Structure 1
Amino acid sequence: MSVYSDQRGITYTAASQEAVDHFDATINEYVHMGTEAGARLKETLVADAEFPMAHILRGCFMQLFCIPALTEKAKQSLVKARAASASVGVDDREQHHMDALGAWVAGDMRSALEHWESILLDHPLDMLAVKLSQFTHFYLGDSRQLRDSMARILYAWHPEVPGHANVLGMYAFGLEESGDYAAAERAGRLAVENDPADPWSVHAVAHVLEMQGRRRDGIAWLRELEPHWRVANNFRFHLWWHLALYHLELEQYDDVLQLYDREFRAEPSEEYLDICNATSMLWRLEERGVQVGDRWKELAEISAARIHGHGLVFPDMHFMMALAAAGDTRNGDAMLRSLEETRGQSGVTQAAVIETVGLELARAIAAWYRDDYHGVVEHLLPIRYSLPELGGSHAQRDLFHQILIAAALRAPCPALARALLGERTRLKPHNAWSWQHYAKALEAVGDEKAASEAAAQARSMLAA
């Protein structure tokens, strides 16, 4: 079997240049969150049915769905990759990819990540390793590694290298999650300027604008670039969610519900990020007193099929929320039992996350929907600094901080609420929700003057 190169000079053991070109096109679709990645991969395997990296890529695609049945398909792809490698051979880089998939399907995300990072030391232009390492750092909740993993390889990604803008956008997101908003915005805007068809780069800047409370700038940013990202795969729903979040913080609730119904929940998708978008927005709306009708029902029906597996704990918490919000205590209790049975399993990365944070957070969510606000505080307060272990972004995990604050006010634990909101208004000084709730907490402890000042701050945020 011969060796052929992709557009960045990365070599592959394959039957033909045609097969590698199809593989390259598949990676390009994946990185740009296009809708044709599956079709491109099929073309790759038609061109070379014994292409080891194509079988590995198929296995990785299966894993990205975080569905137990598809993990079985990923294992089948791994078997085919190993058989192909025994027949045609692979180099050390390709072997690392194979070993990474083997670790991933066994539940050991950290070992898989070590393989991808090892690849990038010697092969920084391996786009598959770049993208999968970023995905894994994100869902392991390590914002510094999310940033530094990209920083380590940028030396090789010159502007003329295909995919440079994509990697710059990934770096921008790592900068944002690490709190360097100015640098993140510069990198993200440059990435979009060079490749406006990359939704992730658009997304990186959207996060900066969210974290800085620049809601109207965020709306303008996403609307301006909408023709580019609205043709993306399901990730477009997440960008619609970001748009809705800006409107939510401006208390434009009719706009939020319209975006929910017409855009990011217009299709009955079962993809986990889509469920996270929907459940987190419905909780925010309800907490603000907005009636959401029967929108929880279809989310709970989907979530009832996701009780077991626990490929990622972050979406599991949203499945738990949908079940609890819809009053499906039977399946909610089953989810709690499943989490209890899974926690602490040796060698399984997400089992450790369940042990340290996931189970207690799920219990807190269940308590919220029983109106047991003291229970929410009891379960959630001790783990709040461990929430990054769930993965996800600061903006996404903020849901759980809001739950704790709202529960502290309702319990009532006014001194705790005041303390939490004292932190929050300094961390997010341009967030009207924070100042509104701070005003409630200050009033509850009898500080009328400070409460009035906090309420005025909230009004100024909404008027800005």
Structure 2
Amino acid sequence: MAHEDRYGLPLSTSSDQAASAYREGVDLMLAGWTGTVETLEHAIAADPDFALAHIARARVHAFYQQGDLARQKAALARELVGVSGTERERSHVETLALAIEGRLPEAIVAMRNHIDAWPRDAVVLSLPLGAFGLFAFSGMADHDRARHELCESVAHHYGEDWWFLTMSGWAMTENGDVAHGRKVTERGFDLRRANAHAAHAVLHAMFEDGSIEAADRLVDEWIPSYDRAGILHGHIRWHQALGALEHGDATRALAIYADVLQPSATQAPPLNVITDSASLLWRLSAYGHAVPKPLWVEADAAAQRLFPKSSLPFADVHMALFAAATQNRQALATRLAAIEQRLTEGKLPAGPVVPAICRALAAFADENYAACVRELSPVLSEVVRIGGSNAQRELFEDTFLLALIRSGELPRARNLLDARLHRRPSLRDTRWRAAMA
């Protein structure tokens, strides 16, 4: 009997065990759930020639920045699929391999062509979605809209699929349709509660609509079902720490940091390790709370090991947070020089916003708030190009807002707050207004 994936697409394996394990492994991967690695390894063991199992395993390696292993698996998948794969499977493997190799423009073209031909290939469709997807890290200024439009274009192929509802709802939320996005995401979450991406997407909607207490309850109620080794476990708690900061509760935010976010405690992928730790510690400090210096030193040391050289703009700007906060001017100068060189060579799709953010953070840490304002003012509308989510990128708007306040530019600060309140409610805005009174 011919085997298919959960979306009805043929699988080139004669092994019942391999096909079953692959279907389960893909679902676990799409849900951000533990057991993904073990299940995909079972599929490979049952059929060592099953190319799709190898490329799925390569994708999980890539999540954890295990670049050599990911590329080796991708190369093997290419070899295997060339022998026995279908046209769809060859395109599937090639598209994922391009993404794994960091060839983003080629991967985006391949993904679009693939989805045009096989819209129900959820693994390929997952590539451009989310805050760390191909679109977000492409340097596009409209990647939120692009994700939403892509989901809209294929929605009729998915119906009430739990994974698609999760990701399409989140795309709506990030593109500004928060109320509708939250409803769609919650519908997907209800269909499969063992889905970390759904919990995460709902938290983003709650952040946008100001449901801070509801978000806190959601995490408290749901997180016991999710293993600490889960790919999003620490990041979901990071959202809870942001909620604590909305209430000015630095003690709780620091307790969450110590529990699951600091490098010695976390089991998160490297990109989450540096972005979650840097952004939470920076927010704590910027909002006037004391951050013990050893926390910065430990996190910075881990970050330098994980990202020693300029790479993704989203990583680079968070590395700049570490360098600025620890007053490591040499590290910042070295990274900034590499970023500017890439910009000069046309190899920085996100553009001038990346070095501008780095310079602004250094000025902020030096308490040169007027210089921070000067650096960020021309590029503030372009921060979206570094990728990530609205909640993550708001850090840079926060920094700009605080620099305005501290440099005495209160009218501009009030205008920015008015614009934010028009976009979404926030308790922190109230506190800042009190600071400006």
TM-score by length of 1: 0.85
Once the 2 structures are TM-superposed, how far is the Cα of residue 102 of structure 1 from its aligned partner?
Answer: 4.5
Distance in 2 (alpha carbons) for counterparts of 1:91 and 1:53: 11
Distance in 2 (alpha carbons) for counterparts of 1:335 and 1:170: 34
Q: Deviations over 1:171-192 (max 9, x none)?
A: 1111111121221221122222
1:304, 1:331 within 8 Å by CA — same for their partners in 2? no
The 10-residue stretch of structure 1 (70-79 or 293-302) with the greater mean CA deviation from structure 2? 70-79
Once the 2 structures are TM-superposed, how far is the Cα of residue 93 of structure 1 from its aligned partner?
Answer: 1.9
SS state of the match for residue 11, structure 2? strand
Q: What letter corresponds to residue 142 of structure 1 in structure 2?
A: H
2:401, 2:413 within 8 Å by CA — same for their partners in 1? yes
Once the 2 structures are TM-superposed, how far is the Cα of residue 231 of structure 1 from its aligned partner?
Answer: 5.3
TM-score by length of 2: 0.90
Distance in 1 (alpha carbons) for counterparts of 2:229 and 2:126: 17
5+ residue gaps, structure 2: none
Distance in 2 (alpha carbons) for counterparts of 1:200 and 1:121: 25
Once the 2 structures are TM-superposed, how far is the Cα of residue 105 of structure 1 from its aligned partner?
Answer: 4.6
Aligned to 1:457: none
1:82–1:210 CA distance, 2 compared to 1 (3 A):
closer
1:123–1:291 CA distance, 2 compared to 1 (3 A):
same
SS state of the match for residue 243, structure 1? helix
SS state of the match for residue 153, structure 1? helix
SS state of the match for residue 12, structure 2? strand
Between the two proteins, the alignment pairs up a number of residues equal to: 428
Aligned to 1:372: 368
1:261–1:11 CA distance, 2 compared to 1 (3 A):
same
Q: Deviations over 1:10-31 (max 9, x none)?
A: 1122353332222222212211
Once the 2 structures are TM-superposed, how far is the Cα of residue 432 of structure 1 from its aligned partner?
Answer: 2.9
Aligned to 1:206: 203
Distance in 2 (alpha carbons) for counterparts of 1:43 and 1:217: 39
Distance in 2 (alpha carbons) for counterparts of 1:217 and 1:83: 49
Aligned to 1:301: 301
Establish whether residue 143 from structure 1 lines up as the match of residue 144 from structure 2. Answer: yes
SS state of the match for residue 288, structure 2? coil
Q: What letter corresponds to residue 31 of structure 1 in structure 2?
A: L
Aligned to 2:120: 125
Task: Pick one of 406, 414, 417 that aligns with 2:413.
Answer: 417
Distance in 1 (alpha carbons) for counterparts of 2:115 and 2:91: 11
Establish whether residue 360 from structure 1 lines up as the match of residue 356 from structure 2. Answer: yes
Aligned to 1:44: 43
Distance in 2 (alpha carbons) for counterparts of 1:356 and 1:372: 21
SS state of the match for residue 216, structure 1? helix
Establish whether residue 18 from structure 1 lines up as the match of residue 27 from structure 2. Answer: no
Identity score, percent: 22
2:169, 2:185 within 8 Å by CA — same for their partners in 1? yes
Aligned to 2:395: 399
2:31, 2:198 within 8 Å by CA — same for their partners in 1? no
Q: Deviations over 1:298-349 (max 9, x none)?
A: 1100121244555532122112212321233332222212222333555x5x
- For residues 121-270 of structure 1, what are the structure 2 equivalents within 5 Å? 121-134=116-129, 135-140=133-138, 142-159=143-160, 164-230=161-227, 233-265=230-262, 267-269=265-267
Distance in 2 (alpha carbons) for counterparts of 1:308 and 1:376: 25
Establish whether residue 436 from structure 1 lines up as the match of residue 431 from structure 2. Answer: yes
1:226–1:71 CA distance, 2 compared to 1 (3 A):
closer
Aligned to 1:327: 327
The 10-residue stretch of structure 1 (107-116 or 187-196) with the greater mean CA deviation from structure 2? 107-116
5+ residue gaps, structure 1: 442-450, 452-464
Q: What letter corresponds to residue 60 of structure 1 in structure 2?
A: R
SS state of the match for residue 395, structure 2? helix
Distance in 2 (alpha carbons) for counterparts of 1:150 and 1:11: 23
Q: What letter corresponds to residue 395 of structure 1 in structure 2?
A: A
Distance in 1 (alpha carbons) for counterparts of 2:198 and 2:429: 28
Aligned to 2:4: 5
Distance in 2 (alpha carbons) for counterparts of 1:320 and 1:48: 45
The 10-residue stretch of structure 1 (244-253 or 325-334) with the greater mean CA deviation from structure 2? 325-334
Once the 2 structures are TM-superposed, how far is the Cα of residue 213 of structure 1 from its aligned partner?
Answer: 1.5
1:107, 1:311 within 8 Å by CA — same for their partners in 2? no
Once the 2 structures are TM-superposed, how far is the Cα of residue 112 of structure 1 from its aligned partner?
Answer: 0.9
SS state of the match for residue 201, structure 1? helix
- The structure with the largest alpha-carbon Rg is 1
Once the 2 structures are TM-superposed, how far is the Cα of residue 221 of structure 1 from its aligned partner?
Answer: 2.3
SS state of the match for residue 352, structure 2? helix
Aligned to 1:312: 312
1:55, 1:80 within 8 Å by CA — same for their partners in 2? yes
Establish whether residue 387 from structure 1 lines up as the match of residue 383 from structure 2. Answer: yes
SS state of the match for residue 39, structure 1? helix
Distance in 2 (alpha carbons) for counterparts of 1:179 and 1:91: 39
Q: What letter corresponds to residue 82 of structure 1 in structure 2?
A: R
Q: Where has structure 1 moved over 6 Å in runs of 4 or more? A: none
1:171–1:398 CA distance, 2 compared to 1 (3 A):
same
The 10-residue stretch of structure 1 (135-144 or 280-289) with the greater mean CA deviation from structure 2? 135-144
Q: Deviations over 1:256-305 (max 9, x none)?
A: 12222123337155621132112111111112221110211111001212
1:19–1:322 CA distance, 2 compared to 1 (3 A):
same
Establish whether residue 96 from structure 1 lines up as the match of residue 95 from structure 2. Answer: no
1:303, 1:320 within 8 Å by CA — same for their partners in 2? no
